[in-house]
């Protein structure tokens, strides 16, 4: 699915794809947000990035599941307002469509240097259903096939079957699950 560059963010397009397929890949999903997110990312120094772990709190581990660096955004509504407004609209639409009871969203930048990875995983903590919706918004500006890093979407009923490969091209596409 695609929005033209002049078209406004439309969470209903995403909700329809979630109903139809269980996930959405949207080109140009949030017009104008790419530039603001890239600008906010430029304000993040290497020292602000921390090695990403798996788990939370005392149970968090730095293991071989992922090897990227992240920076959590405490005030996304101030640093990336277009993106934050779009995520708020999506949160409200998802609550209305799916009765999810989502109260807020968390946001972080992730950087994958050469050789970094995130292994195949289910995007929720084991035994917990609190992560109901995950979004990815790519900021890469010169991605090449040789760079790797594609997002592989697997069939929920057949864990070995890739149903979509999403290339990490800046701003479009992005995935919402």
pLDDT tens-digit profile of 34-55?
889 999 999 999 999 998 877 6
Give residue 127's pLDDT: 57
Is 1 a domain residue? no
Q: Using DSSP, state whether 60 is helix, strand or coil.
A: coil
Rounded CA separation 71/109 (Å): 5
Rounded CA separation 105/56 (Å): 16
Is 6 a domain residue? no
List the one residue out of 6, 112, 98 whose CA is nearest residue 49: 112
Is 4 a domain residue? no
Is 140 a domain residue? yes
Which of 73-77, 92-96, 152-156 tops mean pLDDT?
92-96
Q: Give the mean pLDDT of 88-112.
A: 92
Is 5 a domain residue? no
Total tally of structural domains belonging to the chain: 1
Is 2 a domain residue? no
Rounded CA separation 82/32 (Å): 7
User: Could you read off the pLDDT of 53-78 as tens digits, one per residue?
Assistant: 776 666 556 667 888 899 999 889 99
Write out the two tokens for 96.
């209305």
| CATH code: domain of residue 25 | 2.60.120.620
Structural domain range at position 30: 11-176
List the one residue out of 173, 133, 137 whose CA is nearest residue 18: 133
Rounded CA separation 172/177 (Å): 15
Please give the residue that has the higher pLDDT: either 143 or 158.
Answer: 158
The pTM (predicted TM-score) of the whole model is 0.82
């Amino acid at each position: 699915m695609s929005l033209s560059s002049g078209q406004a963010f439309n969470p209903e397009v995403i909700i329809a794809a979630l109903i139809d397929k269980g996930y959405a890949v949207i080109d140009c999903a949030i017009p104008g947000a790419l530039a603001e997110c890239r600008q906010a990312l430029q304000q993040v120094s290497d020292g602000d990035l921390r090695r990403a772990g798996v788990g939370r709190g005392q149970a968090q581990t730095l293991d071989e599941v992922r090897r990227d660096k992240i920076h959590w955004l405490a005030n996304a509504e101030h640093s990336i307002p277009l993106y934050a407004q779009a995520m708020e609209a999506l949160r409200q639409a998802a609550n209305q469509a799916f009765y999810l009871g989502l109260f807020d969203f968390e946001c972080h930048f992730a950087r994958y240097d050469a050789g970094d990875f995130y292994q195949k995983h289910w995007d929720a903590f084991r035994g917990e259903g609190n992560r109901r919706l995950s979004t990815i918004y790519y900021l890469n500006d010169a991605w090449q096939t040789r760079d790797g890093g594609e997002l592989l979407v697997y069939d929920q009923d057949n864990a070995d079957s890739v149903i979509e490969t999403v290339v990490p091209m800046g701003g479009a596409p992005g995935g919402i699950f």
